[in-house]
Amino acid sequence: MGYMKETGLERIMRDLRIFRIFEGANDTLRLFVALTGLQYSGKHLQASASGAVDAILNRVK
């Protein structure tokens, strides 16, 4: 099946593949940045939560 250049559909069909490749890279990078940020925050929050639990347990004793 062919597409005519006059309709612009040829370019759209050709560019759809490129858009999918670029969007895939952006989505992957976005997830990597988000997970890296959450990993750092998780370690920081874990230390804070551990300190809070220790303070509560020491107060109860």
pLDDT digits (tens, 9 = 90+) for 14-26: 788 777 776 677 7
pLDDT (0 to 100) of residue 60: 67
Helices (H) and strands (E) in the chain, counts: 1, 0
Q: Which amino acid is at 26?
A: N
For 11-50, give one letter per residue: b (16+ CB within 10 A) or e. Answer: eeeeeeeeeeeeeeeeeeeeeeeeeeeeeeeeeeeeeeee
The residue extents of the domains of the chain are: 5-60
Told to judge if 23 belongs to the known catalytic residues of this protein, a careful annotator would answer: yes
For residue 2, the SS3 value is coil
User: Can you list the residues of the chain whose pLDDT is less than 70?
Assistant: 1-5, 22-23, 60-61
Q: CA-to-CA distance for 35 and 56, rounded, in angstroms?
A: 31
15, 23, 27, 54: the active-site residue: 23
